Structure 1
Amino acid sequence: MFSITEEQLFTFHFVDREIFCRLVFNFKRDPVESLLVMAVWLWLEELGFRDITLRLMNQPDFVLKAVADEAALFLQCMEQSCPPSPDSFGGMALTTLLVGKEVSYDIIFQNKYTAINGIKSVLNSVCASIFPDIMQKVLGNQCVVSPDHPLVIPGFPHPVFGAVKIWPRETDNSLPDYGMLIELNSVNNVMKDNCQF
């Protein structure tokens, strides 16, 4: 059986971790909402909307914030019992521009329960594994840490997406600079080829 270390997992997901850090540390966005925003983007990547986080990596702050706002509105849309009206939720124009395919609240709402299950799966299988140290650091005293139990995170269980089990990690109060782990020129070249605003 093949296994990887936590360091290898974090290195593989360095772009996702970097984007998550920008959301919660640089922009001081709500960590629970940011965790769910990341789950939405990673779920969309699983559906074939390729490289969302990679395309966001070198975008200016205002673009990342705007695309995160669209994902946050998407999450609010999932809490509604009726389909969204264009006036109440607007659209996902920047996300559509970013991925080169139409992404809309209405289209996703038509498959609401599939979307909810997919996001729950990504939240528990991916996000819970790649962001535990960041969640611990950003929440500080707000989360209860016990090595025998998952973190108790304010806002979970979520009314739509349920519980998430994030197991505590030993932290050294510093997060590695993931930008140093790869050669940024290769990322920049991908960005120039795939994401022009």
Structure 2
Amino acid sequence: MAPGIFSATRSVHMIVRQLFIRLVFSLQFESSLSMEIISFWMWLEGIGHADFLASIDALDNHDLRSIALAAKMLIETLRRNSGHQPNHRSVQGGYFCIEALKGIVLYLNNVCCKVLEDILQVATAKERICHRAHQAQPQQNVMARAPMSTRDLLSRIKASYISARSHEAEGSSSRSIMPSAPKTHTLKDIENPIEQCLSSYPLATLFESLTITEEEEEPAADAIQIQQPPSVPRDERTLFVTFSNGYPFTADELYEFFTRNFGDDVEVISVQEPVAPKPPLYAHITFYNQETLFHILAGRPRVKFVIRGKHLWARKFVPKRKKAQNF
């Protein structure tokens, strides 16, 4: 009997998105593998391990990497075992293997492919660009092989997308950046790494929301490494976050969460001064780099996080003076 999908609420969807972003962008796992791992975790929660996803999301990146690697090894074992079906196999082991594979495929098709469709396009484009850059520069020195900045990465992804679109318009036989129709995964798919989850979300729309500024000149090698004042106005680098009434966050909690998940880029956090007896309802978080804000929002106007059971909504900060100009 095929496993059923547990009640995947909007909160669960947000946790799935958070875990995917952490695995792919922070821990550098492949996007297809990350989806398999998350689907496996969802299956475990669905068979009775309550709040399994939330517990994993509460881990720091070091522990998250460890448990993700353990899940990767288990999934690889399931793949190997799926190809061996002797006449007198272990009933319990065989049942677990089949049910686990069915569960992974089920959550891939019905949750991950739908919830992650927009982020997945950025992730796969990033992987494609990094792969091409690695192939094109095999003899560069160590300094040249340093990880690309987010600004440089976005520039290359956008250039790749524009190039792919132009080739398509010219009737080129090269592959389009997006296949024309979505694929439904089956049990056979899980026996090999899953190529990609497809969607109709327009990648161009996502890029239109990203502002890519000119790269600043690199400092001299012997210069003292200090944080330079950002050239982008603070308002453009600030996130406005709101809390559930009665469930506020402290500045330390916000700093720990955003640093753990999006890097050490927080410049300042300002939490609303509470008016007794009411707790604070919002906060402003300013980052040194505007790209961090883009990374957090992932092309969406508003995102939601679940942090230790408390809900947090985030959007780009819009000053009152700009709001007034729109009327």
Larger relative strand fraction: 2
Kindly tell me: are residues 62 and 117 of structure 1, through their superposed partners in 2, closer, same or farther at Cα, counting changes over 3 Å? same
2:198 is aligned to 166
Greater gyration radius:
2
Structure 1 residues 12-59: Cα deviation after superposition (integer angstroms, max 9, x where no partner): 511111111000000111111111001100111111111122112221
Verify the 8 A CA contact 2:17 2:116 in the aligned structure 1.
yes
Verify the 8 A CA contact 1:78 1:160 in the aligned structure 2.
no
Alpha-carbon distance in 2 for matches of 1:133, 1:165: 10
Kindly tell me: are residues 115 and 29 of structure 1, through their superposed partners in 2, closer, same or farther at Cα, counting changes over 3 Å? same
The yes-or-no answer on 1:49 pairing with 2:49 is yes
Kindly tell me: are residues 170 and 10 of structure 1, through their superposed partners in 2, closer, same or farther at Cα, counting changes over 3 Å? farther
The alignment of Structure 1 onto Structure 2 pairs a total of residues equal to 154
Alpha-carbon distance in 1 for matches of 2:190, 2:76: 12
Larger relative helix fraction: 1
State the identity %.
19
Verify the 8 A CA contact 1:41 1:53 in the aligned structure 2.
yes
Pairwise CA RMSD: 3.6
Q: Which 5+ residue runs of structure 1 have no aligned equivalent?
A: 1-8, 83-106, 189-197
Q: Which 5+ residue runs of structure 2 have no aligned equivalent?
A: 1-8, 83-91, 129-174, 208-293, 312-327
Structure 1 residues 67-117: Cα deviation after superposition (integer angstroms, max 9, x where no partner): 1011101111111238xxxxxxxxxxxxxxxxxxxxxxxx66542112111
SS in 2 for 1:79: helix
Verify the 8 A CA contact 2:24 2:34 in the aligned structure 1.
yes
TM-score by length of 2: 0.40
Verify the 8 A CA contact 1:128 1:164 in the aligned structure 2.
no
Alpha-carbon distance in 1 for matches of 2:61, 2:194: 30
Residues 1-197 of structure 1: matches in 2 within 5 Å? 13-81=13-81, 110-140=95-125, 142=128, 144-146=176-178, 148-150=180-182, 157-159=189-191, 166-171=198-203, 172-173=206-207, 174=294, 176=297, 181=304, 184=307, 186-187=309-310
SS in 1 for 2:182: strand
Alpha-carbon distance in 1 for matches of 2:46, 2:30: 24
Kindly tell me: are residues 68 and 118 of structure 1, through their superposed partners in 2, closer, same or farther at Cα, counting changes over 3 Å? same
Larger RCO of the pair (alpha carbons < 8 Å, separation 6+)? 1
Alpha-carbon distance in 2 for matches of 1:21, 1:108: 33
Verify the 8 A CA contact 1:150 1:165 in the aligned structure 2.
yes
Alpha-carbon distance in 2 for matches of 1:24, 1:168: 21
Alpha-carbon distance in 1 for matches of 2:64, 2:54: 11
Verify the 8 A CA contact 1:128 1:166 in the aligned structure 2.
yes
